[in-house]
Structure 1
Amino acid sequence: MEGSYNIYIVALSAVIAILASFSALSITAKISHSKGRSRYFWLLAGALVMGNGVWSMHFVGMLAFHLHATVKYDVWLTLLSMVAAVISSFIAFYITAPKNIYWYKIAIGGFIMGSGIVTMHYMGMEAMIMPVELSYDKGLWILSAVIALVASYAALFLFLRFRNQASSSWLKWMSAFVMGFAICGMHYTGMKAARFHAHEGPMSDHLPGVDLFLLYGVTVTIFIILMVSWGAMFFDRHVLERMAYEDPITGLPNRNEMNRFFDTHLGNESIGVLFLDLDQFKAINDTLGHNLGDLLVQEVGKRLGEFIRSDQQAFRIGGDEFLLVVKRCDRERAERLAEQLLKSIKKGYRIEGNELYVTASIGISIGSIREADRAHLLKTADTAMYKAKRLGKNQYCVYTEEMGTQEVRKMELEKDLQWALEQKQFFLVYQPKWNVKTNSLFGFEALLRWHHPRLGNVSPVEFIPIAEETGLIVPMTLWTLEEACRQCKQWKSQGIDQPVSVNLSVRLFHTDSLTEWVQAILEKVELEPNDLELEITESMVLHDINDIIRQLNSIRKLGVRVSMDDFGTGYSSIGLLDRIPIDALKLDRLFTNDLDTPGKRAIVHAIVLMAENLKLDVIAEGVEHKEHIEFLTQLGCYVMQGYYYAKPMTQEEIGHWIRRQYENVNE
């Protein structure tokens, strides 16, 4: 027996299939950009909308079909068919959710989606309770399954291909139409395959009327589902997305939007990344308050907003850190843009009655935004920015391979530095100090050296700043202090009665335990305090000077001498010399190298006279030529240290050197 269709309800079922497909696929587009629980939320929401949409379309399509018999449905089989549609949609979306998807995964997803549609349809057909027998034409049955499988694969392929391109909304609609075709084509092909055989006995010629209440109920339910899904998408796009991807202070896109930008613009296109960091922001934030700091960041954001173009985008990625991404960028364009940015940012800011001035340091990196290069591109721009800061700030720096090599080496040294103490890779060398007035030894300075097992001897110029940054300078200095004291004790037992000096980092003063450590080491080694001298740097006056003075007084009460190293290298500590408890000044080598100029000799002479009045010894560093000795002696400086006398030596070399010096003296 043949059935008939209500054409209007058939059209309605097709519309339902297409709208449900578009809603479900739009929701699942969020999956690839979500993490954690939100990822599963969008995955489940898409599966529910898709599965229920497919099921509703089938049910409305069945209402459009009329047999000359009364038809009812088994409730459990009907519900089970809906579950099959939801589960197959969930699995298909889960498989195709990752950002990088291969064709075979799309094929698997399409197979599962199509199989779900087929299962739902024929399970729904089995749910029909009617006074007729049901059978299927095998050819049409197979065709209906093929339609579902092929169309599902095509729909997923189209959608996944264009899901990250907002400009291709029509392509998303195309994939929804294809998916709708898969559902409708499969359904009505499957219905064409159905053969209804009446039982023996009279059949009614009367066509049963459509259950309008059930039809309207299903229709309203469907539109509620669609409106909820559209409402969720609208809320996500215009409220949640704004909260998640826009910086609340500047209104610029934030770090999340930056990540999404790189996710959605992968390719071989050359781009420029300008990493911008404000130079004086911390000082302003600390002195004038965080509220004014936020207002300053807001004003900087407005100025950066003036540089936004169709091919240029600005992001705020941290407290005072910004990023400008430029498409189709070369070095010349990036440098020109950096100069414009620096010029714009350094203009004055009038904020709540305060006239503020701030500059920026910019690091530039140019490359492609392929997935493998993205992190490298950001890291290299960051590296170049820090190089710009070290060069004096208020300037830009373009990343180079040489810079990258230095950064890799620094990271390797930082990692290996933690194990160097345990592996006993450090050793000490000693450089003598000589008193030309008495023509005798004046002591030794202990200098730390590092023999790396693979890199060989690493210069202290490299590893000391790293140790300062990481805090490893504290255990390294304590080891140096104990080793130097042990060596001094050993020399005394050999008749070499000379003090040893050790350089200190300001980080040891921050611990507020320096005095106790020094005392404990002296007691452990059994060395007299007057055999030890501690050298501090002039830059320490930039820190809590009162606390430094307090700790130095405690150290000197032990009987330990204190000297100021690198005196005159740029920090004005002259006004504090009468307060800082020290015993000697060490002139930096920059004075020694230019002693042939009258101005430099006048400065050295003034320092020597000032030190005499303060009862401080003066030690000149960097003495390499006999002319240096003559000039310094004429200026009243008699204690010297430098290559003229000896380079830093190991403990084995010290004994030979001492014997040679006294032999020369006796001659």
Structure 2
Amino acid sequence: MFVEGNYNFYIVALSVVIAILASYSALNVVGKISHASGKTKLFWLVAGSFVMGSGVWSMHFVGMLAFHLHVSVKYDIGLTVLSLLASMITSFIAFCITMPIDIKRYRIALSGLVMGVGIVSMHYIGMEAMIMNVELTYDFTMWLVSAGVAFIASYGALFLFLRFRNQSGSSWLKLCSAIIMGIAICGMHYTGMAAAEFQHHGDMVMNHEQSIDFFLLYGVTVTIFIILLVSWAAQYFDRHVLEKMAYQDSITGLPNRNEMNRFFDTKLSTESIGVLFLDLDQFKAINDTLGHHIGDLLVQEVGARLQQFIRSDLQVYRIGGDEFLIIVEDCDQTQAEQLAEEILITLKNAFRIEGNELYVTGSIGISIGPVNQADRSVLLKTADTAMYKAKSLGKNQYCVYNDGMGVKEVRRMEIEKDLQLALENEQFYIVYQPKWNVKSNSLYGFEALIRWKHPRLGIISPGEFIPVAEETGLIVPITRWVLENACNQCNAWHEKGLTQPVSVNLSTRLFQTSSLVEMIQDVLGIMKLDPSLLELEITESMVLFDINDVVQQLHRIRSLGVRISMDDFGTGYSSIGLLDRIPIDALKLDRLFTEDINTPKKHAIINAIVLMAEDLNLDVIAEGVENHDHIEQLTQLGCHVMQGYFYGKPMKVEEIKDWINNHNTTIVTSSI
């Protein structure tokens, strides 16, 4: 004899609502998986699987509470927990399958199949958990229908959700997918219950009072509460923790580039703002010498000082490295310049970090204009251009963008773009400037200087393209090209009886590679040049880098038989304290010493350098020699090797022959 059951309509309605809400919460949480990464992705995956799995489970057992069988029913704890795990695990697998943003149709079908299997498994394991004095069997046709409902509805819900998961917030499309998923769960449950047949024994006592399993009631209540708690926690995590991670800089606590973009999105195109682009001047040197930990602490301290300027119409952003952006609403040029001055003054005060007293300055570029979509990038780019202009003017100052800077920036971009082609298309050529020894009245050597003849821009000076080459790394192949051509030319001169060496400038950037010594050795071997005929000129700025490594490389270069000279000595970064460590053969006095050589102070400085060089057994070469007066005074001070226009401008190879013939390797001046 079969036992007929009935349902409490209100509890059935509650089960449907639970199924839809659980589906919506789960799909909303899981929708964030494809946009997350690392541990965040795992968090959303686990949270979504828990909400989905426990939601399906809760709906099932709320439905069971709504079903009154007129017999005493208890539930096996182990099977009940197993049904919950089955639902969660299959939800986890289904959501893992659908993680990619660009998902194929077959993956959706597979995910729907897994989700359907989870719903069916949870339901029928939950049915097996029923402990009652009734024999439970199933109508096979209805069982198949219940399974089909679960599979089809699961696929439809996932397809709709994945198709529109990038829609924001609580869109109706996401709600539709949750409703379909809820129908899948409820449809499967109540179809499965219709497939169930309860048959009692003849001696069984019927219970017409509704029997409630309080363990099940409490379990479902706690589970629903946990679902709500997890959903709330996930939303809180998304809105507060993840948003903070996405829009706030982790070192300074200032808004980051993402927050800056969001600021621009909220502003009207008619509004005019001031943009101040701040870059620290000595930051790289501090990072290289004291380490990135101290660098991060310095950035943190700078951020703290900049926070004092924040107000309702002014915000400070850290946009990367040692770069900060200050945006001021309704700002004119006068206000922007005043703010820039205040910021520079604030940065001048010493930073005391872990026992280090650090002094840094900043360079600020200012740009003012509207904030519409088209002009946003222009504002940032022009502020960046003005900042680099401030650096080129000597740093520790601000510069307001003007159209002239824009022209220079376009030219610089064209130079950068064409630099590689210049090497490939043989647009570079070398000129040679003679160096003269006035004591022996004879040729001392030549300096090889690179030039670039651009097909459209004409002759581009090294002062313009060498910094670009250093920044892009092209300085390495360019230097090798110069070395090969200079060594080849030196060989050609040597065969004609001209035994003076040729010198080539080395960029500091080359010391940062691991192949400088090998490159020089390789070029000497290929060109078969006597190493004593090659001289390499370095600059004082190398002291900013790993001096021990630089010294080691210089020792290896000199061991090849190559001479080393220090170019532009006495300008930029003083290396006097390191002269006893740096392996060099000569000092080249910068032309600044020659320009106003008549002053007593310059006399004293040059004389001191010459005496110091004599004690260190170094030659001294004076640059910028242009007249008899320069020669006479330098000779009196003890400097006998000179280079400048008086002896010859930088010349092409074909001009060198005429120069030698005209001077007959000897220059006789009235001053000597």
TM range (shorter): 0.5 to 0.7
- For 2:336 and 2:378, locate their aligned partners in 1 and report how far apart those are by CA, in whole Å: 18
How far off is 1:213 after superposition? 3.9
One-letter code aligned to 1:393: K
Q: 1:394 aligns with which of 371, 393, 396?
A: 396
Q: Give the match for residue 161 of structure 1.
A: 167
Change (3 A) 1:307 1:47: farther
Structure 2 residue 11 is matched with structure 1 residue 42: no
Change (3 A) 1:87 1:380: farther
Change (3 A) 1:398 1:202: farther
- For 2:547 and 2:589, locate their aligned partners in 1 and report how far apart those are by CA, in whole Å: 21
* 1:241-298 Cα distance to aligned partner (Å, 9 max, x none): 5996666764446xxxx47647978958579876544445577789999998776555
Change (3 A) 1:425 1:123: same
Q: Match of 1:394, SS? A: coil
- For 1:647 and 1:86, locate their aligned partners in 2 and report how far apart those are by CA, in whole Å: 82
Change (3 A) 1:337 1:144: farther
Q: Contact 2:57–2:84 at 8 Å: present in 1 too?
A: yes
How far off is 1:360 after superposition? 2.8
Q: Contact 1:426–1:451 at 8 Å: present in 2 too?
A: yes
- For 1:27 and 1:236, locate their aligned partners in 2 and report how far apart those are by CA, in whole Å: 11
Q: 2:19 aligns with which of 1, 17, 21?
A: 17
- For 1:353 and 1:555, locate their aligned partners in 2 and report how far apart those are by CA, in whole Å: 38
Change (3 A) 1:346 1:469: same
Q: Contact 1:348–1:355 at 8 Å: present in 2 too?
A: yes
One-letter code aligned to 1:35: S
Residues 49-198 of structure 1 mapped to structure 2, 5 A cutoff: 49-66=51-68, 91=94, 95=98, 98=101, 120=119, 160-163=166-169, 171=170, 181-182=179-180
What is the RMSD of the two structures over their aligned residues, measured on CA atoms? 7.0
Q: Report percent identity of matched pairs.
A: 47
Q: Contact 1:380–1:404 at 8 Å: present in 2 too?
A: no
Change (3 A) 1:424 1:76: farther
Q: Give the match for residue 566 of structure 1.
A: 568
- For 2:490 and 2:70, locate their aligned partners in 1 and report how far apart those are by CA, in whole Å: 113
How far off is 1:219 after superposition? 0.6
Q: Give the match for residue 651 of structure 1.
A: 653
Q: Give the match for residue 167 of structure 1.
A: none
Structure 2 residue 447 is matched with structure 1 residue 445: yes
How far off is 1:458 after superposition? 6.2
- For 2:196 and 2:237, locate their aligned partners in 1 and report how far apart those are by CA, in whole Å: 51
Q: Give the match for residue 213 of structure 2.
A: 212
Q: Match of 2:650, SS? A: coil
How far off is 1:496 after superposition? 3.5
One-letter code aligned to 1:34: A
Q: Match of 1:162, SS? A: coil
Structure 1's unaligned 5+ residue stretches are: 164-170
- For 2:569 and 2:435, locate their aligned partners in 1 and report how far apart those are by CA, in whole Å: 17
Q: Could you state the TM-score of these two structures normalised by the residue count of structure 1?
A: 0.64
* 1:21-52 Cα distance to aligned partner (Å, 9 max, x none): 45424532542442146424522431342244
Change (3 A) 1:221 1:449: same
Q: Give the match for residue 33 of structure 2.
A: 31
Change (3 A) 1:331 1:410: farther
Q: Give the match for residue 361 of structure 2.
A: 359
- For 1:534 and 1:522, locate their aligned partners in 2 and report how far apart those are by CA, in whole Å: 16
One-letter code aligned to 2:322: E
How far off is 1:109 after superposition? 7.5
Q: Give the match for residue 629 of structure 1.
A: 627
Q: Could you state the TM-score of these two structures normalised by the residue count of structure 2?
A: 0.64
- For 1:375 and 1:612, locate their aligned partners in 2 and report how far apart those are by CA, in whole Å: 53
For this pair of structures, how many residues does the alignment match?
Answer: 635
Change (3 A) 1:403 1:5: farther
Q: Give the match for residue 166 of structure 1.
A: none
Q: Match of 1:444, SS? A: strand
Q: Contact 1:345–1:360 at 8 Å: present in 2 too?
A: yes
How far off is 1:362 after superposition? 4.2
One-letter code aligned to 1:219: V
Q: Give the match for residue 307 of structure 2.
A: 305
* 1:430-476 Cα distance to aligned partner (Å, 9 max, x none): 22345789986554222245689999976433454466668886786
One-letter code aligned to 2:29: I
Q: Give the match for residue 168 of structure 1.
A: none
- For 1:607 and 1:201, locate their aligned partners in 2 and report how far apart those are by CA, in whole Å: 116
One-letter code aligned to 1:223: I
- For 1:577 and 1:275, locate their aligned partners in 2 and report how far apart those are by CA, in whole Å: 38
Structure 2's unaligned 5+ residue stretches are: 128-134
- For 1:376 and 1:340, locate their aligned partners in 2 and report how far apart those are by CA, in whole Å: 25
* 1:562-597 Cα distance to aligned partner (Å, 9 max, x none): 7654355456678999999988765544566x56xx
Change (3 A) 1:205 1:377: farther
Q: Contact 2:257–2:317 at 8 Å: present in 1 too?
A: no
How far off is 1:494 after superposition? 1.9
- For 1:155 and 1:507, locate their aligned partners in 2 and report how far apart those are by CA, in whole Å: 54
- For 1:609 and 1:657, locate their aligned partners in 2 and report how far apart those are by CA, in whole Å: 32
- For 2:352 and 2:197, locate their aligned partners in 1 and report how far apart those are by CA, in whole Å: 89
Q: Match of 1:161, SS? A: coil
How far off is 1:490 after superposition? 3.1
Change (3 A) 1:187 1:216: same
- For 2:556 and 2:139, locate their aligned partners in 1 and report how far apart those are by CA, in whole Å: 105
- For 1:539 and 1:132, locate their aligned partners in 2 and report how far apart those are by CA, in whole Å: 87
Q: Give the match for residue 226 of structure 1.
A: 227
- For 1:555 and 1:574, locate their aligned partners in 2 and report how far apart those are by CA, in whole Å: 21
- For 2:580 and 2:185, locate their aligned partners in 1 and report how far apart those are by CA, in whole Å: 97
- For 2:511 and 2:197, locate their aligned partners in 1 and report how far apart those are by CA, in whole Å: 100
How far off is 1:70 after superposition? 10
Q: 1:461 aligns with which of 463, 478, 485?
A: 463
One-letter code aligned to 1:209: Q
- For 1:556 and 1:185, locate their aligned partners in 2 and report how far apart those are by CA, in whole Å: 83
Q: Contact 2:90–2:118 at 8 Å: present in 1 too?
A: no
Q: Contact 1:152–1:182 at 8 Å: present in 2 too?
A: no
Q: Give the match for residue 500 of structure 1.
A: 502
- For 1:188 and 1:559, locate their aligned partners in 2 and report how far apart those are by CA, in whole Å: 88
Change (3 A) 1:470 1:434: same
How far off is 1:56 after superposition? 2.8
Change (3 A) 1:334 1:212: farther
How far off is 1:60 after superposition? 1.8
One-letter code aligned to 1:226: I
